[in-house]
A and B are shown apart, each in its own frame.
Chain A
């Protein structure tokens, strides 16, 4: 299997981009990724592209990417894997090069959540994740999907409280302040989080990711070609993808996300590393409680250790294991198809020492998504050092 290098990465601003269509965001992200390539990038070099997108908002997805980005002469495939789409698209691009089939691959992720009314979004996205007869009519909206896990987690955990959930929001908002691409660039306090209107118990408004538009792109090349593009490539060290029972009533232990555990096991094994080796992580924090469960599932702490970990400050930049230096989904924003790719954009910058919220000496980074009906997770491990 060939080693795979990431030589370019870029993204649009995340936010309510009412003024931009998919046909604007895609070329913006691709051009920024191309411009980030140290020694220049001719997009005629791209041999294949993968496009991660959940909901098509502006017409036929792969055609729009090819058409708007000048990629009409290569194969383009669309990939949808719920909120794990972005990191799964990176996994597919990696496989395409590792297999020897292609040498230069473009991976793009994008979504425009705010293209429809913020209220109808609930049903638009629920229909993607629910059984048409059994749980769709219940109104199991996205926050409720995760709240069922968080409620049980808070019930069983000997330590975690709503304050610990709030600490996650406070940290990620703090991190997002320095990120020019972030949707929410302001500090909040634990008290503000606790006092905010409730969305779905135990999540208040500040426990929830905003609804976002945005696109992100990375350029992957075979190791033999890496130095043609840069002297500082980032290496794809490991990938993983895990699944679980789809219906909540079939998940025996809702205090954990088994897809994350499975994806992490694959990615750590492929990279030949363990959780203690990770210097920086971008994890799925669509709702605050999810980040706490992620800490445990990814092995950053022991079971029920998440409350202590966030409380200790260890997951701030400067701490033992900085998590979501970009602001995470919570502050940076969450256009689902783009989210995982954008996590890799942040790690690309972190591992090259170029992030606006730099983790000193970061050599190994992990990107993680958990999504859909909490039944799929994708993980990418990137490294500054050639494996």
Chain B
């Protein structure tokens, strides 16, 4: 048995009420961080000592996803992490097996994009795994090179996949179903279930959040093709923070082909912590903050020791430039912003995110959020984007 203290959710701003799509500066890692931060905002008193990320869309199959997740969440690099390949059922397994202090994040980028994070702790609302069956009916395949093949027979999946697997678990009546869309989900429930915005791993977190809203609890069914997991959520409160801005149509943009933009991995490695954690160096002599951190203080010239300090994630546009001409290897148009952070006097140069290019002006306020700045020679290069204040997180 696990008890859940909080759930954070995130939906990319792009798309419709029915389905969201990621922006060009988002991936499974940035989505995971957004949802994780929402969960940690919901219960800042819970300390996180382990992070599990469940997804079928993690960008670095050879490793390297967890570091930006921890950095983006502001967690210590010593925090235990695990990356699990899976969908809604795998996410439910991870939640029901989680120990207190674990943040379980599901993140999906394809089809319907979104992420949810379930923060487990002692004294929350209990969720207990009550059954599981693992079967194979691969109506959709994706090989190691990403090639997708669809068998395209939804009735087969429903009848010989989901219904058969549930029959082996005694055909429970679900209160909510993660991993199936509209009518298929409703067919398994006594009352119309909550509509969920995603179908992959994150759907499980959205499902628990939906159940938690009534504080009544109920049976949760999570489905990955023919594999099914079920759990009972007790009645009780769960703190939910939804980072779900109203959807906007994806703005017109174009990608210009070009040779891959080169990367220096030594430079990437040196910059990583400060860049992904958004931390400045504070001069040991005069206290001035430098971003990027530097050996010689930008103010007093002191060299050597400095400490890293987190920068405020709110800022104001000092100046900006919207690039409309095609740039090889990039999606245009895009807006580059020099943002002044809080009252620190520190400025950083970032791209606009979550709003159409050119839609902000000098003096506008916003928040700094983890984004995929570029992909260079296959390496996702994370940094921060400026999200204008019209975007609000609903508690």
Question: Which residues from chain A sit less than 8 Å from chain B, CB to CB?
Answer: 119-120, 122-123, 127, 131-135, 137-141, 143-144, 147-149, 151-152, 155, 197-201, 245, 247-250, 254
Contacts and interface: CB of A to CB of B under 8 A. Distances in A.
Contact of B374 (A127, A137, A148): A137
B258 A134 contact: no
B362 A138 contact: no
Nearest to A197: B324
Contact of B327 (A122, A245, A250): A122
Contacts of B263: 132, 137
A133 B270 contact: yes
A200 B323 contact: yes
Contacts of A151: 319-321, 362
A200 B324 contact: yes
B336 A140 contact: yes
Contacts of A120: 258-259, 328
Interface stretch (B212-220, B244-252, B344-352): B344-352
Interface in B230-274: 256, 258-259, 261-264, 267-268, 270-271
A92 B373 CA distance: 40
Given A120-B258, A148-B319, A249-B348, A133 B264 contact: yes
A123 B329 contact: yes
Contact of A201 (B329, B358, B383): B358
A138 B336 contact: yes
Given A134-B275, A140-B349, A155 B336 contact: no
B264 A132 contact: yes
B293 to A, nearest CB: 11
Contact of B351 (A132, A138, A141, A149): A138
Given A137-B374, A138-B351, A123 B292 contact: no
A271 to B, nearest CB: 32
B244 to A, nearest CB: 27
Nearest to A149: B319
Contacts of B83: none
A132 B328 contact: no
A36 B362 CA distance: 51
A8 B292 CA distance: 47
A160 B330 CA distance: 32
A140 B348 CA distance: 13
A148 B270 contact: no
Contact of A138 (B264, B291, B326, B350): B350
A137 B327 CA distance: 12
Contacts of B256: 119
B381 interface: yes
A127 B376 CA distance: 13
Given A133-B271, A148-B319, A249 B349 contact: yes
Contacts of B348: 249
A132 B264 CA distance: 7
Given A200-B323, A248-B349, 20 more contacts: A119-B326, A122-B328, A123-B258, A133-B275, A133-B292, A137-B261, A138-B374, A139-B323, A140-B349, A141-B327, A148-B319, A148-B338, A152-B362, A155-B319, A197-B324, A200-B325, A201-B322, A247-B349, A249-B346, A254-B338
Nearest to B351: A138
Given A133-B271, A144-B321, A249 B291 contact: yes
A196 to B, nearest CB: 11
Nearest to B269: A133
Nearest to A134: B292
Given A119-B256, A120-B259, A248-B349, A152 B322 contact: no
Contacts of A134: 271, 275, 292, 349
B347 A250 contact: yes
Nearest to A137: B374
Contacts of B271: 133-134
A306 to B, nearest CB: 18
Contacts of B321: 143-144, 147-148, 151, 200-201
B298 interface: yes
Contact of B261 (A123, A148, A247, A249): A123
Contacts of B326: 119
Given A119-B326, A131-B292, A144 B336 contact: yes
Contact of A148 (B320, B328, B350): B320
Given A120-B259, A133-B271, A200 B322 contact: yes
Given A119-B258, A139-B336, A133 B319 contact: no
18 contacts: A132-B267, A133-B270, A133-B271, A133-B275, A134-B271, A137-B381, A138-B350, A141-B325, A143-B321, A144-B323, A151-B321, A151-B362, A198-B324, A199-B323, A200-B322, A250-B298, A250-B347, A254-B318
Contacts of B262: 127
A250 B318 CA distance: 12
B380 to A, nearest CB: 10
Contacts of B275: 133-134
A137 B25 CA distance: 12
B347 A249 contact: yes
Contacts of B264: 132-133
Output the residue of B320, B323, B329 with the most chain A CB within 10 A: B323
Contact of B323 (A133, A141, A248): A141
Contacts of B323: 139, 141, 143-144, 199-200
A199 to B, nearest CB: 5
B358 to A, nearest CB: 6
Nearest to A198: B324
B268 A133 contact: yes
A32 B376 CA distance: 45
A137 B264 CA distance: 11
Contacts of B318: 152, 254
Given A200-B321, A254-B319, A155 B362 contact: yes
A140 B350 CA distance: 10
Interface in B309-366: 318-330, 334, 336, 338, 346-351, 358, 362
Nearest to A254: B319
Nearest to B382: A137
Contacts of A140: 336, 349
A247 B346 CA distance: 12
A305 B270 CA distance: 44
A148 B264 CA distance: 26
A134 B350 CA distance: 9
A248 B348 CA distance: 9
Output the residue of A138, A197, A245 with the most chain B CB within 10 A: A138
